[in-house]
Chains A and B, each alone.
Chain A
Amino acid sequence: MTPLIKTLGYEIDTACIATHHQPAVLVEFALSREVDSRQLLRSTRIQLEEFRLAEKRISPDQYLTLISNCRKLVNADDTSFLYGQRLWPGCFGAASQALQLVSNLRQAIEIICDFHAILSPLFTPRFYANEQELFIFWQDATGSDEQQQFLIEAHMTAFISMVSWLSKEKMPWNFEFTYSEPTYIEQYWVNLGQDLAFNQQMNCMRLPIEFLDKPWPNASQISIHGALKETHKQLLSLHSPQSFIDQLYDYIQTHIRQPLNLEKVSAAFGISPASMKRKLKKHHTTFQQQIDLARKNTAIYLFQVKHFNNQQIAEYLRFNDMNNYRRAFKRWTGLSPYTLF
């Protein structure tokens, strides 16, 4: 059987992030806090000169080490938020240019989602909407493990800060986080807003739908097309427009109504089950965890957007009886489906 997926996405050890993009923003911030550059770059295998040369690409793994060093050395609660504020639109070539020219929130979300390999290589934003609300949820793209919370804080702040700068408007965003309330909650209040919920099912931002197509000032309907074209070229020059974990998630999501197992999915990716397992381990996850994640997110999507009830969700996900569904749901979320929906 020929594999369905031609090129495998970038992994935690693929050199795919331009050093002068996100890593440079972080290094610049750390240096402004009088951190020693040698200590900052310790065991990242990056030289300070490489930021000036702007040629090298580093792996997510190296970038995560850099983040870990920066957090330790700066040692302040607001590191992720200040880094996030400086992130977007940023100086990431045509993608940043396109972001500066967007005419409404929908366009901004589309650019962030379509070109996340350039703009946000470690965390993938995903978007959907129902009649009342729009949802953007963020998913780990390369197994960031201990740096997950830092990256969520940084990316959400980056998005909120960019949107309020470009739209010149304060929007009533709601936030949901999978982790429990941190001790430095005041940073969330000041940088994100007051509507926060912790210990939830997704790392998600919600907003009333009327903001989605509201026109923004300084938009440029015509010149944005040139920038978008250039961004597509930029995306093609990358190793791949998606991470391996994203590809796997997408594959499971599209085939969620079929019986899936490790052998079948590995074959679709053109790799052996053993190397699939090895790759997943490298990203601190397992096959079952990925299946559970996709099923949980699908269930939430069906409930929020299609307004399915538990019976319909169980049917959609091909559960034979409600008891199995309830047990599985409990495993995905830690809660009974009847308390959540």
Chain B
Amino acid sequence: MKKRAFLQTCYSYGLAIAIGIGVMIISVWGDLKPTVEISWLDVFSEGGMVILALFWLGLLLRSRPAGRVTQLLALGLCAIVFSWSMDVVDEFIRMPSTLIWHNWLESLPIPIALVLLSIGIYHWHQEEIAISAQMVKRERYFREHRLFDKLIPVGGAAYLKKLLKLSLAESKKLQQPLALIAIDLDNFNMINRLYGPEESDHILQLICQLLVLNLRDEDLICRLAGDRFVVLLHNTSEHEAQQMSMDLQNAVASFAYRTRQHHQRVYLSATVVTTMARTDDSDSLIKRLNLEISKTRQQPSNAL
């Protein structure tokens, strides 16, 4: 995923102008402190806070899509940066003690910032709930973005292994059957060679979405490697799993893909294998599943 460019530069411009005006106001009313009076420790600690807050703002604007939640969070952070930078300026310029309002520049933005941030974080929380609902067939128990597949928006093999451990423990405790389906596209090497790697990447992305559509909410899909996917079926009997694997196989076979460049029809099919979790641990279970795929492949009915 590409990082977002600084499209929302208006925030940085606005912030710079606000800080500029603030500095101007302070310097007009106050006068410069002599160097001996400056407390450098304060300058460093307050300056460091400003830099940190700017860093948060930068990360936020770079990673999040534009929208209401981003706007609220960004405005809140801007106000914090402004107030903290006024604090820093204060270290260099002495204000006459008769002035009451100069403190406002420092302290007024903070409550505003906190209110904005709070509203922002509340909506962010709502947003997360909405996104989690969409991710329901792709993750379970925990989220770990580092284990997500680079090409396709589902978990990779490492995520599957971690998850399988948890699922095995759960199904043992609840005495429920746990089924696994492996789906392996046939002749994917051929498709790769004939239509190029870009097309085959696209096919994988679409196949993954197609498989997700054919799953129930409780099921979970991961990409093991290359063109091999694994589906985890909680509380599912062998018979049900067989039925589902047939459905997935049919879904792949009736998928009418046309290449993006020349609109050629690509015929796809998949080898599907079902297995039940019995006494084995997660590693041996995945291994067994893969062995069964190779065995099914070598049977003459599946030959080219």
Contact = CB atoms under 8 A, between A and B. Distances in A.
Interface in A74-91: 74-78, 81-82, 85-86
Given A165-B193, A191-B225, 6 more contacts: A75-B150, A77-B157, A77-B225, A81-B225, A186-B224, A190-B226
A190 B293 CA distance: 10
B192 interface: yes
Contacts of A186: 157, 224-225, 228, 286, 290
Interface residues of A, number: 28
Contacts of A193: 294
B241 to A, nearest CB: 21
B189 A164 contact: yes
Interface-central residue, B197, B298, B304, by most chain A CB under 10 Å: B197
B156 interface: yes
A199 interface: no
A194 interface: yes
Nearest to A187: B225
Interface of A: 29, 32-34, 74-78, 81-82, 85-86, 161, 164-165, 168-170, 183-184, 186-187, 189-191, 193-194
B192 A184 contact: no
B290 A33 contact: no
Contacts of A86: 197
B291 interface: yes
A187 B158 contact: no
B149 to A, nearest CB: 8
B290 A189 contact: yes
B192 A77 contact: no
Contacts of B227: 190
Contact of A76 (B150, B201, B228, B303): B150
8 closest residue pairs by CB, A with B = A190-B226, A190-B225, A76-B150, A186-B225, A187-B225, A186-B157, A194-B294, A189-B290
B297 interface: yes
Contacts of A184: 157-158, 225
B157 A81 contact: no
